[in-house]
Amino acid sequence: MRALLQRVNSATVNVDGEVIASIDTGLLVLLGVANGDAADAAVWLAAKTLDLRIFADEHKPMNASVMDVQGAVLVVSQFTLAAETRRGNRPGFSTAAPPHEAEPLYERYVEELRLRCRNVQTGRFGADMQVSLVNEGPVTILLER
């Protein structure tokens, strides 16, 4: 399971021309689920997402978590994070979990975030989404479990 975290000033998800989610300061999380991933990975990644100190405070540029700055989290499913790219020039996706396995783990990750964070929004699993963001820093971190 992979979570690509981007520290943002704002992020928005559109589906069919309609804004379905939008946040200001916080994290945009692109979440990829691979074959063999389990619920414990979702739990661990959610905790790490909320506790990772990648926001500025009065002492250091990367000393506060999204929780410390009372930021929001926007989670978007991203099966392409499980792409196999070692051979050839066309990514393969046989390592990505099929939707019927990936969606429950995606939902578990979101549930775990919502246990601690008051503002968690999501894209629409499996939809063709347009994601806009203003990456602050830029700061982009890949978490894997």
Q: Which residues are catalytic?
A: 78-80
- Tokens for 11, please give them: 């992020």
Measuring CA to CA, which residue among 62, 42, 39 is closest to residue 52? Answer: 62
At how many degrees (to 10) do helices 99-116 and 39-51 cross? Answer: 40
Cα torsion 81, 84, 85, 88 to 10°: value is -140
- Residue 110, classed as helix, strand or coil, is helix
